[in-house]
Structure 1
Amino acid sequence: MHIAVTGSTGKIGRAVTARLEADGHDVVGFDVDGPRGPAFTRVDLSDYGQALDALLGVTFRHDGVDALVHLAAIPVNGLVPDAATFQHNTAVTFNVLHGAHRAGIKKIVYASSINAMGFPFDEPPPYLPVDEGYTAANNTYGLGKVVEETIAGQLVRWDPELSISALRFTNVVAEDGYGSFERAGELDYRRDLIGSYVDARDAALAVALALEKGAPGFEVYAVSAADTGLTIPSAELAAAWFPGVPLRKELGEFETLLSIDKAAEQLGYVPRYSWRDR
């Protein structure tokens, strides 16, 4: 397939581009900055005209794409004022998703977030492991993700052939980014992430699987590693962090508290990387 990747120079974008190219796809990257060359075009996605034009075709880059991976965003709260985070990210996602719809693209995978399901979990989740059935935004970044999921859920109503998969990524760790796991024995480590993380290469795997297996309609998938980022058993973490919150299943020793069962069952997602194998 010929696939457009927005945010192609970001942490997930680089891993996704590498994975898709290794799988034999032709990839064109769209971002605000990046390397000059035949696989990249600088695009201001906050401008709807540029977003739509880039998806329709770019001279010497492509004359139409088969699928879209949308990763471009201000990645966290705090980099710009809160309202700017919400306004920028929701506008960019609308431009890209609606532009893809207008361009006739039928397969879209995009980055949602654990921020749409309770992060930083000052309010306990209703159950553990928490899954896609729980939606809660506690900051403007997360609020934007909830709005974006709503947009996607409505767009597929407009086109019964359109497939959109929203991947609720947790904290993405690059291959060389495991230094912080030296704190893995501390109870407060990754408390705001309910202990979760995902290797960028597994995030890219989830994208590749959603592109391959995503069916028409809109689906949300939580994406994390299979284990927590701590040396404390998961049942102990759940009891210490969220006393009284019911467990929906017996937990493996270090099993993730962010359920990836849906991605496993529907997409065949099996994470391959763990900080324990460093």
Structure 2
Amino acid sequence: MTSTNTPLTLGETARPVKPRVVVTGGSGKLGRATVAHLSSSGYEVINFDRVRPKTASEDGKTGLQGAYRLVEVDLTDMGQVLEAMMEIDMAYKSIQAVVHLAAMPSPGQSSSSKQFNTNVASTYNVLEACRKLGITNIVMASSETLIGIPLDIKPAKLPITEESPLLPESAYSLSKLVGETLAEQYVRWSQQTHRTPTGGEAKIISMRFSNVMLEEEYATFAGWQDDARKRYWNCWGYIDARDGAEAIKLAVESRLKGHHAFLIANNNTVMKKSSKDLVQEVFPGVEYSPLNDNPNVTLLSNEKAKKLLGWTPKYDWKP
């Protein structure tokens, strides 16, 4: 089917109709996997990123690892965000969904104020542009850091779930908490018909990704096995980028409404030592109720995502 009945922007030529999704930060580790997975699943993906994939052509039309277009956008500039979501000459017009992954990642790589301000402003601009344009299908990268990473203060009980207290301990994790708070309020606004007479109630899914890993990084896991404290800071959690991408696809396709947060972690920890022994060694006295009888079972519960999104991680480092 061609896009002859779909509004075209200036200079755009008709092409097969596909649901169009913006992925912000599509050039990052999780972003690359997400762009490739959504593209192979029948979506037309637009990558909003100031970083060009190493394989990208000079004109930004090919070598984009599955994306239809790379659009260089400063997400802290509301004008750029709004315009890029509306249309880009000779490329596209109209967006159906947004996956917001872009952020200054992990603490310690910039001044704290820059990291916080950049992440919060970017998230606000993305959500506000979606509101103005009536885009109600939104998936955002939140963070496992909300659980209190680096866990210098012991968790109240294990495993950690979406209902565990939110304890940001850095400017980065605080920016992610603000992002989830923004999401809750934008959903509330979307429920008010006098504010959004045509858009309808929004779906915003905040995904608290555990430490994202590429397949080639599994070789590094051997360096942690001699000392549980080398990797205790997030309860020994991780997620393969490919499984993270699948969780995002399922979230985009979910019929949920409102704001929902999900922990996205592998079924196993990064350690060969049993989860019970890890808890006893590093978090003695903390109440622990294993999710199942897998000796290496995750301490970051992924049960909610399995139940509500139908997601199951497939890629395992095989301890």
| Same-fold status (TM-score > 0.5) | yes
**What is the CA deviation profile of residues 210-266 of structure 1, one whole-angstrom value per residue up to 9, with x for unaligned ones?**
111151100000001110000000111112121121123455200000000100110
Separation in 1, partners of 2:84, 2:117: 21
Alignment match, 2:281: 240
Q: Does 1:154 align with 2:195?
A: no
Q: Which AA in structure 2 matches 1:263?
A: A
Q: Does 1:69 align with 2:111?
A: no
Q: Which AA in structure 1 matches 2:45?
A: V
Is 1:2–1:26's contact at 8 Å kept on the other side of the alignment? Answer: yes
Question: 1:68: how far off?
Answer: 0.2
Separation in 2, partners of 1:254, 1:214: 33
Q: Does 1:173 align with 2:213?
A: yes
Question: 1:185: how far off?
Answer: 2.0
Separation in 2, partners of 1:215, 1:59: 33
Q: Which AA in structure 2 matches 1:3?
A: V
Alignment match, 2:123: 93
Distance 1:214 1:147, change over 3 A: farther
Is 1:109–1:210's contact at 8 Å kept on the other side of the alignment? Answer: yes
Distance 1:214 1:82, change over 3 A: farther
Q: Which AA in structure 2 matches 1:239?
A: Q
Is 1:189–1:195's contact at 8 Å kept on the other side of the alignment? Answer: no
Question: 1:191: how far off?
Answer: 0.6
The gaps in structure 1 that reach 5 residues or longer are none
Structure (1 or 2) with the larger CA radius of gyration: 2
Question: 1:183: how far off?
Answer: 2.3
Q: Does 1:4 align with 2:19?
A: no
Q: Does 1:141 align with 2:183?
A: no
Separation in 2, partners of 1:242, 1:163: 37
How do 1:182-201 residues align onto structure 2 when only pairs under 5 Å count? 182-186=222-226, 187-201=228-242
Question: 1:67: how far off?
Answer: 0.3
Secondary structure of 1:116's counterpart equals helix
Separation in 2, partners of 1:211, 1:68: 8
Alignment match, 2:301: 259
TM-score normalised by L of structure 1: 0.96
Alignment match, 2:114: 84
How do 1:14-163 residues align onto structure 2 when only pairs under 5 Å count? 14-34=32-52, 35=56, 36-37=60-61, 38-134=68-164, 135-160=166-191, 161-163=201-203
Is 1:189–1:230's contact at 8 Å kept on the other side of the alignment? Answer: no
Q: Does 1:272 align with 2:314?
A: yes
Alignment match, 2:263: 222
- The percentage of aligned residue pairs carrying the same residue is 36
Question: 1:71: how far off?
Answer: 0.4
The gaps in structure 2 that reach 5 residues or longer are 1-18, 62-67, 192-200
TM-score normalised by L of structure 2: 0.84
